[in-house]
Amino acid sequence: MEIIESITIKGGIDKKGMPELLQEITVTRGEIIGIVGPTGSGKSQLISDIEQIAQKDTSTQRKILINEKVPGEAERNDPRKKMVAQLSQNMNFFADMAVFDFLSLHARCRNKTGVDIDEIIFLANQLTGEPIHKTDNLTILSGGQTRALMVADVAVISSSPIVLIDEIENAGIKKHRALELLSGQGKIILVVTHDPVLALSSDKRIIMQCGGMRDLIESTSQEKLVAQQLNRIDHEILALREKVRQGKMIEYIETELLGSCFNSACYL
């Protein structure tokens, strides 16, 4: 497969049939782009257009270019040349097989040799609380375990250079580590999110409104500082959540967490 250095989204029309205010955006390899906007603003349709590599043949009339060129028919429709992987918030396995066997089969289907399956499971276990074992049957995995396994699978085995993530904050996994893992593989990542931490952590964010791309905002250094503080708070909340899940009593909140909250409130 040709190395994908960039994808370009050429704007179409919004829900009212008017031209999108943002008429073109190019996303390059290694970038993380947030897609934000209120419910019903067209976020899911945008990633659907990208997944289909739309050529003005969807309701939005958008056009997607790969490396500044119109992709061929095989690149759009041949599953063996699939360029886009999508991770949604609702994912489940139906195959009755062990985790190790599934990953090994996927690696063979992708013609990936020398893949360390144990390493993939190790990476997946960095994203979820309850550990995944290689002998576990896919059908017994929880929703969070399933998504953690698929993130690790997409990062290591999948050759799809474009990754679309739909509201990973609701996926029950360690979202920041998941983005670090995926972006470290040089993939193009677009994230639909309502989470301010993820939005401010992205390189840029597309603002959606009334079904159209309204604006493109580049994250500032000040926003990155806010994101770092919110990230620390988020990690503390995750730690508290794990204590609650393990049946431990929570009698106080650490002073450091409260201090972080006050400091971030000053920034916000």
Instruction: Walk me through the domains of the chain, giving residue ranges and CATH numbers.
Output: 6-219 (3.40.50.300), 220-268 (no CATH)
CA–CA separation, 29 and 2 (whole Å): 13
CA–CA–CA angle 212, 227, 164 (5° rounding): 45
What's the whole-model pTM score? 0.79
- Percent helix, strand, coil in the chain, to 5, is 40, 20, 40
H or E segment and range at residue 44: helix 43-52
pLDDT for 199:
87
pLDDT for 267:
46
Which two tokens mark 220? Answer: 């500032």
pLDDT for 9:
97
User: Which positions of the chain have pLDDT values less than 50?
Assistant: 262, 265-268
Phi, psi of 175 (to 5 degrees): -65, -40
